């Protein structure tokens, strides 16, 4: 008899977030002998592989969780207590096209979750996510949606409109610890790789991870703002409670100027360290749209080829494991935190999380009450409750308010197929109205097959 939660993963056939959520759930002792897990994906061959892998992990790790698979979400959703959403469609190919469209108009930007290119990402995603949200609302109105799909706040606004209870989760807070580790390398007794620059290479990521892991052990960051746009408001040493900002400011002069240079500049101007790193930070700021500024801050565009190679390598590993050509050597993922959030709510654990995306409800008093914000929160059977932040520093709040308006407009435009609302959002991001219209038209034209809501008869 199953007396624990029923958890449904939509997008389980993914070798990235789907697999990471799977290993987290199967490793969590709270779910042992009690939970039910349903794996859902429309890609049946991939889903079948993940299903076989899940059964193998379930046996090897002695999780004893009831596991099933389904390609029809409407059959899977009934009686679900939690739905994990991790879905995308042609993500990297369309993302690169969004970036190239910007270049065509002399706009240099990361083109994922903020800036003009985020319109394409949002609109394409919501075209197939809205029906999922509708099914959740209609079939399991009391269930919690745990969302990993980007753009995280915009999926949150759509869930809010659909009447679905949601929590957005993102691992970017851990990047903030890496930045912190470099600033406090002396305190951490790190003496190597002090000339580190952030790049999308395995070697560089490994070096950066050393700063991250050591900083996580020693410090606690209290960060708040918006997803991929949070700011470290407090940084405390765990052993003493010492506020570390005085040391950080003292060390700022010793940081390699090419290490997250936009982050350094924003820290210099606004007085608080941004969490996300330059790649994501640049998405919400207009300071790198010109080619010379993109180069000045050395913004590192996501390495699409590296991403594809990593995914292919993971599928090769999965195929080898399920065909008994390789031992099961997967390790549980401890950074995505979906399993911990679900366990806290399902078992009324009264725990806390460093970064969740939820409705503001006045927790940050100088941001709109209905804004989707990211901040630390407590969790129990009633769901998440953000810790009281009060006012963000005025300049940071102003940057956030503008992005909130852009996100709401693009979400509404993507749901309704409203070109005018989309154009209003572009007009908030750019200083040339004709350019805004030209960019919008190009995004709509390029991705027409993904955007039926904008081309209704």
Q: What is the pLDDT of residue 170?
A: 95
The single residue listed with the structure tokens 């003496």 is: 191
**Given a cut of 70, is residue 229 above it in pLDDT?**
yes
Classify domain 6-89+117-170+325-346 by CATH architecture: 3-Layer(aba) Sandwich (3.40)
Contact by Cβ (8 Å): 163, 142 = no
**pLDDT, tens digit (0-9, with 9 covering 90-100), for 290-300:** 999 999 999 99
pLDDT tens track for 56-82: 999 999 999 999 999 999 999 999 999
Q: What is the pLDDT of residue 9?
A: 96
At 112-123, the pLDDT tens digits run: 999 999 999 999
Reported as a pLDDT band with limits 50, 70 and 90, residue 332 is: confident
How much is the pLDDT for 456?
86
316 φ/ψ sector (left φ>0, alpha ψ -120 to 50, else beta): alpha
Q: Are the beta carbons of 4 and 32 closer than 8 angstroms?
A: no
Residues 391-450: pLDDT tens digits?
Answer: 999 999 999 999 999 999 999 999 999 999 999 999 999 999 999 999 999 999 999 999
Q: What is the pLDDT of residue 2?
A: 60
Q: What distance lies between CA 210 and its chain's CA centroid?
A: 22
Given a cut of 70, whether residue 103 has pLDDT beyond it is yes
Q: Which tens digits make up the pLDDT trace of 115-163?
A: 999 999 999 999 999 999 999 999 999 999 999 999 999 999 999 999 9
For the chain, the distance separating the N- and C-terminal CA atoms, rounded to the nearest angstrom, is 51
List the chain domain ranges. Answer: 6-89+117-170+325-346, 173-275, 352-386
Confidence label for 303 from pLDDT (cuts 50, 70 and 90): very high
pLDDT of residue 1 exceeding 50, the answer is: no
Least confident span in 12-21, 94-103, 183-192, 253-262: 12-21
Mean pLDDT of all residues belonging to the chain: 95
Q: Residue 329 above 90 pLDDT?
A: no
Supply the pLDDT for residue 336. 86
């Amino acid at each position: 008899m199953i007396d624990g939660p029923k958890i449904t993963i939509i997008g389980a056939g993914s070798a990235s977030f789907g697999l990471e959520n799977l290993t987290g759930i199967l490793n969590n002792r709270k779910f042992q002998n009690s939970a039910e897990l349903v794996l859902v994906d429309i890609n049946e061959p991939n889903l079948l592989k993940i299903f076989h892998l899940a059964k193998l992990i379930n046996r090897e790790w002695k999780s004893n969780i009831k596991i099933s698979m389904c390609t029809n979400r409407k059959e899977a959703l009934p009686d679900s207590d939690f739905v994990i959403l991790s879905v995308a469609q042609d993500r990297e190919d369309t993302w690169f096209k969004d970036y190239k469209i910007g270049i065509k108009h002399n706009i240099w930007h990361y083109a994922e979750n903020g800036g003009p290119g985020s319109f394409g990402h949002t609109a394409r995603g919501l075209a197939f996510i809205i029906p999922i949200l509708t099914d959740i609302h209609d079939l399991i109105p009391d269930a919690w949606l745990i969302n990993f799909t980007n753009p995280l706040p915009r999926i949150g606004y759509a869930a809010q409109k659909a009447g679905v209870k949601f929590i957005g989760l993102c691992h970017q807070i851990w990047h903030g610890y890496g930045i912190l580790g470099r600033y406090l390398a002396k305190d951490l007794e790190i003496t190597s790789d002090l000339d580190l620059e952030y790049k999308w290479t395995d070697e560089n990521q490994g070096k950066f991870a050393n700063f991250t892991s050591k900083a996580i052990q020693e410090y606690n960051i209290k960060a708040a703002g918006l997803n991929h746009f949070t700011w470290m408001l407090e940084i405390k040493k765990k052993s003493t409670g010492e506020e570390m900002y005085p040391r950080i400011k003292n060390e700022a002069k010793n940081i390699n100027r090419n290490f997250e240079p936009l982050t350094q500049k924003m820290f210099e101007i606004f007085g608080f360290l941004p969490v996300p790193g330059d790649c994501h930070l640049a998405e919400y700021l207009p300071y790198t749209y010109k080619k010379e500024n993109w180069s000045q801050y050395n913004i590192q565009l996501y390495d699409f080829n590296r991403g594809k190679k990593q995914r292919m390598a993971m599928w090769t590993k999965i195929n080898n494991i399920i065909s008994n050509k390789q031992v099961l050597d997967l390790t549980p993922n401890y950074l995505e935190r979906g399993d911990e959030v679900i366990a806290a709510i399902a078992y009324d654990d009264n725990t806390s999380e460093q970064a969740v995306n939820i409705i503001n409800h006045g927790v940050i008093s100088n941001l709109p009450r209905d804004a989707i914000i990211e901040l630390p929160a407590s969790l129990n059977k009633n769901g998440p409750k953000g810790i009281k932040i009060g006012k963000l520093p005025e300049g940071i709040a102003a940057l956030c308010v503008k992005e909130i308006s852009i996100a709401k407009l693009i979400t509404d435009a993507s749901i309704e197929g409203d070109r005018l609302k989309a154009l209003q959002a572009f007009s908030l991001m750019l200083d040339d109205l004709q350019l805004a219209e030209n960019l919008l038209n190009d995004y709509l034209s390029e991705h027409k097959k993904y955007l039926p809501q904008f081309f209704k008869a």
